């Protein structure tokens, strides 16, 4: 995962990243994006890469609680900020309510957009705890899903909101 | 081995940022343009960057002593679209900010980045042009302010010097009974780039006729176009004839290209429609009517209020 | 008007009376892969790493038609970090592809589309691999490009494959110059029928190419251990991928293992054999594992899997009473530069052009035409959305010609149970009419369509694809079950539903079973996630295996409970004697017994369903899908809103109804329909590949190739007509492709009501809608000075 495909000659720089409550020292060249560093240096592969230009949202993470396309954010620029990835929201033994709702409503098919979708939904519900259907649509519009037609994802987010399941970002 | 500049300085103050820029570092805020460009192989990432997204001085929206609005260049689109003063007095700018990309893009993308990218398709460009905004460019030596038409010289190109950093956008107060709006043509309801767009600021006289009107057009020329010849609207009531004149003026002054998003003919036609709608929404806002931001989604096609375009015009 | 209860052959269809669409209540559907997918712990191909692995990049043609004068990789080979560079000379000289063997792994003498691969490089980093690719030197002699299907078949057109007559083809394939595969279907005397018709209507529709665009770009990792090859690949069809690797690299199947980690969607885009052999050959040359991950741009440009562009010309003769007298049609399908799996497309498209209608005389000819575009291949219901859009737009034109409401025209002419189809196939119970009724009642049930809104509908049909498939089921000593299946999960939930099928058969719970799947090294053959066939065929295999296992358990229980095996009842994870108050024995206890004796292992495959016979029809270039097995029927209706000044269209509501036989998993089925509808809206309005004059793509990215977003999603209601007779498990038919047939057509028909004529190019972009409005209607007299339409709006609220 390098941004510069011409064969980078630049030197690595060292910095710390705070991810899901843990600190990771990183040595990487400046051109590395946050997505690549999360996936290959830190080993958190739940965040996905689906496009070249901020269009699909599969790479969505929270930066100080706000959704960011990690594909177009420099990893080095994230130092000193709190990064939350899908791995920080819940696990198989204790699913986050959004994760549970998504499964119960059939909002998961191939699953490739799912981590980014959950991150965006989480950020949306933190901004607006009782969104309308249209507000959910706009709020998730940066996350493309090709499987579901969005209906069941939007249902799940609305259901999650009505259950008051928004929890503070860990 | 030659000495390399610091590859990334994270600036906390304007002075730190200006110092780095003076020594050749490229400013980066959200990175949405720089990093995407580098990933697509369009332009290599500069060897030395200065991150300005933590400079708090650049992130405020405030009123200067003369009543002008001063927007720090680091203000994000998300902040702009929800700022009370912007939504109330400079609504077109909020309309534009609310349409940019996705929630994520709006969270990290800044007005300064948008302005300095110099794209003729930038959404905040037309609103800034109709508001006669001044762009403040700063160096370690001091500040200067220039108009948007002085700044944008060609697609993706500005008149700023390499050692200059955009630090603020300053907009003079608008007259009473003014309203503004930005409308763009979009093929989807979100995640779009302007096919064409138009911003308008309309000031109404006490009798409800047009006392002032400025219109700017997005993505129909190498830079944002300010529409000429609007004096003929002064004293006219908003109605079908006025709006038809607006559409004709906008269409005739557009000089678009044909590309994969639209043909020249379709752009020329539809920018007239956008101009007309921007004027109508601006005029309605000038009367004190609240049309929520962004106007595209509150009375645009696909929203429940779409028919209001026609209702308002008759 | 003829009675709807009597078919053409005079048999009274009592069945139709009983058929009714219903809204299904979803049964809870615990996806075995669900927790993995929502927590981010699930591994996809791009997530896989191996020690020492190198990274692959391809050298692409970047020119659509040229002779290769010189290809020099020496500079690339000498660059630091480069561990292998391979070209055509490094792999066996094999020409492959099903139907027409017209392609090779690497370009040899010429390149025929921009994404053709000249060389592959492996290096220790992706950046170094790209640098090496950039150092490869190619010299071309440009050849004339063929980019238009009409010009391609004109006499004297330059040939994309001058050597086409020497290619190996499957037995029935009918080739012509620049035509890879030609099919026709004929039934009755179309010319005579047309001559007798009261009215004749001719239409021409053109569809642009589009893309499957799964959100996961493809990724492949290959590793050799001695002579054994393991490939982790984002493929929908691991067994096809294995066959491709074996054919092109000359390997036996037992030395090649394809494993698919979680697959991030496919929609046909990842069907077929793609780049597994390239990466395997690179890994062999490099002496280490090699991994390829595509960028989104490559995902658009390189695979031989776009949805084909199409030109459809249709002529239909109508009788005075509105019944169809005859139809002729010519379809030109853009094959692109190589044939991939598209040889059967003409036959599919011809059936779609006939449509699910009673047509006594029919002649449709369809050609798969070579161009210098990216190759076409099976994308979700190949040829169907475009052909259905054309035929169903044409159908609304027919209805208007005879002054009938579109829905009444379809009720009159649409197929009913017992009817005879275009190739002489007699249908059993089919739900087309019930689908129409269901959608019409829901769409017209809403009141108050405004002047800028209209409703429209379209009907669709699509086959099911019977094929071989296998599965094992075992229960180990602790009573935990495993289903080991060759089937591939691409997201639809089809493989996930296998657990429920087995559990229901064994009186156990779905959660009692884990799945071992998408691994050719451990499971029996299955066709893969293609042709909506997973539950249809593999469900049969799993049911048979479960049934065999149930017999084994009953035998054990019979010994344990001292009863006859036939009296043993399996329920709630226990075996008991029917009617006996004696305590039951748990399956776990029986499994423990079996673990020390004869193990609980069963297998299933079963004979695939048969294809119906064609009677009284001629099919030239028969590719095996002349008569459709377990045909599926559907009706989609939409309410759209038009911005008449810009041509921007939004779809507000969608009502769908499907006859896919028995619905095995309602929640999964709804997901398929809703996803298909949204894909259809994209195809209708925003998704089209644009080509420059040299045949290169202008919009290979998700900003300019526009998928629908969550903000665009309409509300969708869905009903099903559960007909009998499906050849799948418990009477199921296929399902996943059928929802991607009729949506674009329904939008076209709704839109036509608002603008007075149909938009004749797909996608119906705002600019095309605007141009159609400006060109066609209203007349100048209806326009005021500002160009506004002052004519009365057409009524959009009737079907």
Q: What is the DSSP letter of C779?
A: -
Those residues whose C-beta lies under 8 Å from the C-beta of residue C437, and which sit 6 or more positions away, are C21
Is C364 domain-assigned?
A: no
The CA distance from B85 to C609, in Å, is 69
pTM of the predicted protein model:
0.95
Contact C76, C135 (CB under 8 A): yes
At B297 the pLDDT is 87
E-only strand ranges, C168-289: 179-187, 199-207, 210-211, 219-225, 228-233, 256-259
Query: Tokens standing for C593?
Result: 């017994």
Query: Tokens standing for C41?
Result: 């712990």
**pLDDT tens digits along B224-266:** 999 999 999 999 999 999 999 999 999 999 999 999 999 999 9
- CA dist C422 → B233, C215, C367, C387, C436 (Å): 65, 38, 18, 16, 20
CB nearest B107 (choices: A13, A31, A67): A67
Exposed e or buried b per residue across A87-105, where buried means at least 16 C-beta atoms within 10 angstroms of its C-beta: bbbbeeeebbbbbbbbbbb
Residue C554 burial (CB < 10 Å; 0-12/13-18/19+)?
buried
Query: Tokens standing for C186?
Result: 């004929």
The CA distance from C677 to C670, in Å, is 11
Q: Could B307 and C771 be called an inter-chain contact, meaning their C-beta atoms sit closer than 8 Å?
A: no
At B306 the pLDDT is 56
**Chains contacting chain A through 3 or more C-beta pairs under 8 A:** B, C
A residues 59-118 lying closer than 8 A (beta carbon) to C: 85-87, 89-92, 95, 99, 102-104, 106, 108-115, 118
At C790 the pLDDT is 38
Q: How far is CA C36 from the centre of its chain?
A: 26
Query: Tokens standing for B284?
Result: 């309605």
Q: Could A146 and C40 be called an inter-chain contact, meaning their C-beta atoms sit closer than 8 Å?
A: no
Label residue B37 by pLDDT band (50, 70, 90): confident
Q: H helices of B205-263, where?
A: 240-253
What is the fold of A90-162?
A: DNA polymerase; domain 1 (1.10.150)
Q: Could C217 and A49 be called an inter-chain contact, meaning their C-beta atoms sit closer than 8 Å?
A: yes
Q: What is the DSSP letter of C732?
A: B
Please tell me the distance in Å from A80's CA to the nearest CA on chain C.
24
Contacting residues of A for C41, CB less than 8 Å apart: 46, 87, 91-92
Q: Could A60 and B53 be called an inter-chain contact, meaning their C-beta atoms sit closer than 8 Å?
A: no
**pLDDT tens digits along B97-141:** 999 999 999 999 999 999 999 999 999 999 999 999 999 999 999
Is C610 domain-assigned?
A: no
**Spatial CA neighbour of C214 closest among B15, A144, B53:** A144
Contact C498, C472 (CB under 8 A): no
**Chains contacting chain B through 3 or more C-beta pairs under 8 A:** A, C
Q: What is the DSSP letter of C766?
A: H
Q: Could C671 and A8 be called an inter-chain contact, meaning their C-beta atoms sit closer than 8 Å?
A: no
Number of domains in chain C: 2
Q: Could C648 and B186 be called an inter-chain contact, meaning their C-beta atoms sit closer than 8 Å?
A: yes
Domain that holds residue C571: 468-604
ipTM for this model: 0.95
Final residue before a domain boundary, out of C576, C604, C632: C604
At B34 the pLDDT is 84
Q: What angle do CA C433, C437, C442 make, to 5 degrees?
A: 150
Those residues whose C-beta lies under 8 Å from the C-beta of residue C748, and which sit 6 or more positions away, are C389, C392, C393, C396, C456, C458, C684, C758, C759, C764
Is C16 domain-assigned?
A: no
Q: Is A120 on the interface with B (CB under 8 A)?
A: yes
At B44 the pLDDT is 82
The CA distance from C266 to C489, in Å, is 10
Contacting residues of C for A87, CB less than 8 Å apart: 39-41
Is C667 domain-assigned?
A: no
Q: How far is CA C369 from the centre of its chain?
A: 20
The CA distance from C411 to C184, in Å, is 27
Nearest CA in chain C to B243: C786
**Spatial CA neighbour of C320 closest among C390, C439, C412:** C412
At B310 the pLDDT is 56
How many interface pairs between A and C have CB atoms less than 8 angstroms apart?
206
CATH classification code of A2-88: 3.10.20.30
At C447 the pLDDT is 55
Is C284 domain-assigned?
A: yes
The CA distance from C193 to C186, in Å, is 12
**Spatial CA neighbour of C398 closest among C326, C465, C502, C446:** C326
Is C28 domain-assigned?
A: no
The CA distance from C404 to C356, in Å, is 18
At C583 the pLDDT is 84
Return the CATH number at C112. Answer: 3.90.1170.50
Q: E strand or H helix at C385, and its extent?
A: helix C384-401
Omega before residue B294 within 30° of 0, cis:
yes
Nearest CA in chain A to C669: A106
Q: Is B239 on the interface with C (CB under 8 A)?
A: no
The CA distance from C17 to B188, in Å, is 43
Omega before residue B154 within 30° of 0, cis:
no
The CA distance from B57 to B62, in Å, is 11
Those residues whose C-beta lies under 8 Å from the C-beta of residue C799, and which sit 6 or more positions away, are C405, C406, C407, C440, C443, C444, C455, C456, C457, C637
Q: Could A69 and B103 be called an inter-chain contact, meaning their C-beta atoms sit closer than 8 Å?
A: no
DSSP-derived 3-state class of residue C250: coil
| Mean pLDDT in order along chain C per 10 residues (799 residues) | 36 58 91 97 97 98 98 98 98 93 97 98 96 98 97 97 94 92 94 97 98 98 98 98 98 98 97 95 98 97 95 98 98 97 95 96 97 97 98 98 97 95 92 96 74 94 97 97 97 96 97 97 97 97 98 97 96 94 92 95 96 85 89 97 95 97 97 98 98 96 97 96 96 97 98 96 98 68 37 58
At C783 the pLDDT is 36
- CA dist C786 → B238, C648, C767 (Å): 15, 19, 19
Is C519 domain-assigned?
A: yes
The CA distance from C162 to C144, in Å, is 12
The CA distance from C726 to C532, in Å, is 13
CB nearest A112 (choices: C265, C267, C709): C265
CB nearest A31 (choices: B32, B41, B45): B45
Within 10 angstroms of residue C78's Cβ, the number of other Cβ atoms is 11
CB nearest B193 (choices: C645, C703, C771): C703
Label residue B305 by pLDDT band (50, 70, 90): low
Final residue before a domain boundary, out of C604, C628, C651: C604
Query: Tokens standing for C403?
Result: 């002054």
Question: Is the fold of A2-88 the same as that of A90-162?
Answer: no
Walk along chain A (170 residues) and give the pLDDT tens digit of each residue.
Answer: 333 444 445 688 999 999 999 999 999 999 999 999 999 999 999 999 999 889 999 999 999 999 999 999 999 999 999 999 999 999 989 999 999 999 999 999 999 999 999 999 999 999 999 999 999 999 999 999 999 999 999 999 999 998 865 444 43
Residue ranges of domains in chain A: 2-88, 90-162
Return the CATH number at C543. Answer: 3.30.365.10
* CA-based max dimension of chain C: 95
Please tell me the distance in Å from B292's CA to the nearest CA on chain A.
13
At C448 the pLDDT is 61
The CA distance from B274 to B92, in Å, is 13
Q: Could A141 and B45 be called an inter-chain contact, meaning their C-beta atoms sit closer than 8 Å?
A: no
Q: E strand or H helix at B200, and its extent?
A: strand B197-204
Final residue before a domain boundary, out of C555, C578, C604: C604
């Amino acid at each position: 995962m390098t941004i510069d495909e011409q064969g980078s000659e630049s030197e690595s720089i060292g910095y710390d990243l705070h991810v899901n409550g843990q600190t990771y020292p990183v040595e990487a060249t400046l051109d590395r994006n946050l997505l690549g560093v999360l996936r290959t240096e830190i080993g958190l592969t739940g965040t996905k890469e689906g496009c070249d230009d901020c269009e699909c949202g599969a790479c969505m993470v929270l930066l100080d609680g706000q959704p960011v396309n990690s594909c177009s954010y420099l990893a080095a620029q994230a130092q000193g900020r709190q990064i939350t990835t899908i791995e920080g929201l819940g696990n198989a033994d204790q699913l986050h309510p959004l994760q549970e709702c998504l499964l119960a409503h059939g909002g998961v098919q191939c699953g490739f957009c799912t981590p980014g979708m959950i991150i965006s939904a989480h950020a949306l519900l933190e901004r607006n705890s009782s969104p309308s259907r249209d507000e959910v649509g706009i709020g998730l519009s940066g996350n493309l899903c090709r499987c579901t037609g969005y209906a069941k994802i939007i249902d799940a987010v609305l259901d999650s909101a009505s259950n008051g399941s928004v929890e503070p970002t860990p | 081995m030659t000495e390399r500049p610091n590859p990334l300085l994270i600036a906390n103050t304007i002075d730190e940022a200006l110092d780095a820029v003076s020594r050749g570092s490229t400013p980066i805020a959200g990175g949405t343009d720089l990093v995407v460009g580098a990933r697509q192989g369009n332009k290599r990432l500069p060897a030395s960057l200065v991150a300005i997204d933590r400079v708090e001085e650049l992130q405020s929206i405030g009123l200067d002593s003369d009543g002008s609005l001063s927007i720090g260049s680091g203000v994000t689109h998300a902040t702009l679209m929800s700022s009370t003063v912007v939504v109330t007095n400079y609504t077109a700018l909020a309309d534009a900010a609310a349409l940019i990309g996705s929630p994520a893009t709006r969270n990290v993308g800044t007005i300064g980045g948008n302005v300095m990218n110099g794209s003729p398709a930038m959404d905040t460009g037309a609103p800034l042009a109709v508001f006669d905004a001044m762009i403040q460019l700063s160096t370690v030596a001091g500040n200067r302010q220039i108009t948007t038409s002085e700044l944008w010289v060609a697609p993706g190109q500005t008149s700023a010097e390499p050692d200059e950093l955009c630090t603020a956008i300053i907009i003079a107060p608008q007259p009473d009974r003014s309203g503004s709006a930005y409308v763009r043509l979009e093929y989807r309801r979100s995640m779009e780039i302007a096919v064409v767009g138009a911003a308008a600021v309309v000031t109404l006289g006490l009798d409800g006729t047009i006392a002032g009107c400025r219109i700017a057009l997005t993505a129909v020329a190498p830079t944002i176009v300010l529409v000429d010849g609007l004096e003929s609207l002064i004293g006219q009531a908003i109605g079908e004839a006025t709006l038809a004149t607006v559409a004709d003026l906008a269409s005739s002054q557009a000089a678009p290209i044909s590309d994969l998003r639209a043909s020249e003919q379709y752009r020329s036609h539809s920018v007239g429609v956008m101009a007309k709608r921007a004027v109508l929404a601006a005029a309605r806002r000038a009367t004190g009517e609240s049309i929520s931001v962004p106007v595209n989604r509150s009375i645009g096609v696909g929203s429940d209020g779409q028919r209001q375009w026609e209702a308002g015009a008759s | 008007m003829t009675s709807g209860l009597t078919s053409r052959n005079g048999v009274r269809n009592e069945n139709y009376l009983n058929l009714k669409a219903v809204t299904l209540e979803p049964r809870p559907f615990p996806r075995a892969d669900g927790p993995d997918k929502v927590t981010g712990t699930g591994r996809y191909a791009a997530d896989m790493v191996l020690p020492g692995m190198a990274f692959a990049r391809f050298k692409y043609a970047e020119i659509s038609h040229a002779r290769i004068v010189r290809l020099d990789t020496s500079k690339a080979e000498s660059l630091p970090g480069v561990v292998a560079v391979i070209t055509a000379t490094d792999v066996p000289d094999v020409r492959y592809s099903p139907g027409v063997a017209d392609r090779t792994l690497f370009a040899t003498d010429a390149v025929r589309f921009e994404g053709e691969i000249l060389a592959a490089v492996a290096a220790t980093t992706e950046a170094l691999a790209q640098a090496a690719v950039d150092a490869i030197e190619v010299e071309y002699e440009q050849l004339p490009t063929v980019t238009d299907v009409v010009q391609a078949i004109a006499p004297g057109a330059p040939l994309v494959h001058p050597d086409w007559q020497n290619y190996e083809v499957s037995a029935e394939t009918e080739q012509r110059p620049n035509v890879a595969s030609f099919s026709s279907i004929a039934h009755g005397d179309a010319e005579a029928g047309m001559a007798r018709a009261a009215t004749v209507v001719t239409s021409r529709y053109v569809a642009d190419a589009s893309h499957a665009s799964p959100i996961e770009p493809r990724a492949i990792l290959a590793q050799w251990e001695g002579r054994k090859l393991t490939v982790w690949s984002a493929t929908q069809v691991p067994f096809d991928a294995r066959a491709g690797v074996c054919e092109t690299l000359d390997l036996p199947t037992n030395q090649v293992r394809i494993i698919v980690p979680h697959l991030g969607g496919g929609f046909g885009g990842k069907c077929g054999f793609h780049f597994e052999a390239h990466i395997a050959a690179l890994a062999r040359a490099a002496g280490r594992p090699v991994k390829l991950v595509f960028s989104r741009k490559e995902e658009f440009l390189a695979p031989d899997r776009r949805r084909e562009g199409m030109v459809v010309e249709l002529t239909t003769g109508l009788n005075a009473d509105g019944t169809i007298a005859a139809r002729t049609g010519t379809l030109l399908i853009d094959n692109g530069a190589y044939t991939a799996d598209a040889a059967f497309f003409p036959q599919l498209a011809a059936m779609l052009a006939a449509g699910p209608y009673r047509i006594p005389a029919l002649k449709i000819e369809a050609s798969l035409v070579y161009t210098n575009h990216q190759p076409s291949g099976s994308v979700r219901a190949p040829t169907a959305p475009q052909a259905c859009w054309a035929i169903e737009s044409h159908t609304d034109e027919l209805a208007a010609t005879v002054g009938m409401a579109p829905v009444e025209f379809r009720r009159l002419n649409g197929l009913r149970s017992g009817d005879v189809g275009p190739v002489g196939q007699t249908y059993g119970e089919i739900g087309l009419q019930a689908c129409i009724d269901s959608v019409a009642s829901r769409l017209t049930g809403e009141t108050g369509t405004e002047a800028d809104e209209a409703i429209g509908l379209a009907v669709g049909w699509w086959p099911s694809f019977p094929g071989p498939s296998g599965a094992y089921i075992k229960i180990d000593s602790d009573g935990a079950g495993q289903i080991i299946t060759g089937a591939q999960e691409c997201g639809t939930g089809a493989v996930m539903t296998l657990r429920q099928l087995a559990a229901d058969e064994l009186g156990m719970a779905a959660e009692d079973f884990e799945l071992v799947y998408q691994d050719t090294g451990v499971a029996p053959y299955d066709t893969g996630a293609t042709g909506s066939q997973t539950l249809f065929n593999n469900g049969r295999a799993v049911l048979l295996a479960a049934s065999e296992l149930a017999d084994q358990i009953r035998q054990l229980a019979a010994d344990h409970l001292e009863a006859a095996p036939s009296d043993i009842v399996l329920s709630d994870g226990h075996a008991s004697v029917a009617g006996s108050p004696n305590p039951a024995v748990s399956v776990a206890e029986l499994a423990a017994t079996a673990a020390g004796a004869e193990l609980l292992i069963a297998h299933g495959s079963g004979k695939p369903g048969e294809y119906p016979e064609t009677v009284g029809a001629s099919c030239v270039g028969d590719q095996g899908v002349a008569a459709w097995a377990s045909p599926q029927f559907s009706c989609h209706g939409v309410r759209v809103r038009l911005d008449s000044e810009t041509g921007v269209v939004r779809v507000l509501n969608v009502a769908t109804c499907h006859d896919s036989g028995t619905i095995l998993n309602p929640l999964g089925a709804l997901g398929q329909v809703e996803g298909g509808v949204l894909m259809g809206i994209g195809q209708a309005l925003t998704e089209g590949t644009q080509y420059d004059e040299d045949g290169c793509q202008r919009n290979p990215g998700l900003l300019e190739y526009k998928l629908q977003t969550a903000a665009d999603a309409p509300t969708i209601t869905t009903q099903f007509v559960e007909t009998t007779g499906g050849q799948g498990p418990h009477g199921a038919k296929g399902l996943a492709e059928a929802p991607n047939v009729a949506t674009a057509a329904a939008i076209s028909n709704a839109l036509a009501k608002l603008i007075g004529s149909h938009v004749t190019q797909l996608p119906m972009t705002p600019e095309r809608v605007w141009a159609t409005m400006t060109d066609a209607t209203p007349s100048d007299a209806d326009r005021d000075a500002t160009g506004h339409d002052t004519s009365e709006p057409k009524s959009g609220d009737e079907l």
